[in-house]
Amino acid sequence: MKELIVASRNKGKVKEIMELLEGLPFKVSSLLEYPDLPDVVEDGKTYKENALKKAITIAKITGKMTMSDDSGLEVAALNNAPGIYSARFAGEGKSEADKNQKLFRMLKGVPLSRRQCRYRCVIALSDGKGRQLGVVQGTCGGVVALKERGTHGFGFDPLFIVPRYNQTFGELDSSIKAKISHRARALVKFRQLLEKTL
């Protein structure tokens, strides 16, 4: 069976991607199973540049088909920050709680009616020779909560309210998130890209 490497060591992200890719005719692995592979520096100016750099770099080193996801939270009142800097938003090595608290500080005094945001996910696919096979993306609109709510998910999930449900990704049942999230929407397109490639 062919292997597909997910170029990430983020446990929450890897778990989510693996669940959403279940049933594919691939052995899906991640960088968690390849501790000797290097960390790829995300120095691109866009999600697409970062995702392609990670996928192509890991594919060239391993000789295996590789996918990479670059995602971020874009808050309208902050000119779409933190965006591509979401993972390093509070500084290198800071916790998810640190990032969430920094976002709350930046939005202090901003009413719920002006806290519109969206999650964006861009996924790149590279073949085992490091050639680009395609890039897809998905988004999900929401509102930044006034305080953290719920314990599901990871990252900014406990403060990302989905208006349709009036619950955060931290509160929503994972089966609903698996249908409507930015990553779920991108992965629907990714599956189609993989099928075309095969």
Q: Known catalytic residues?
A: 70
- Name the residue among 88, 194, 100, 83 with its Cα closest to residue 144: 100
Look-up of token digits 């964006």: 120
73-100 as b/e: b if 16+ CB within 10 A: bbbeebeebbbbebbebbeeeeebeebb
3-state SS class at 95: coil
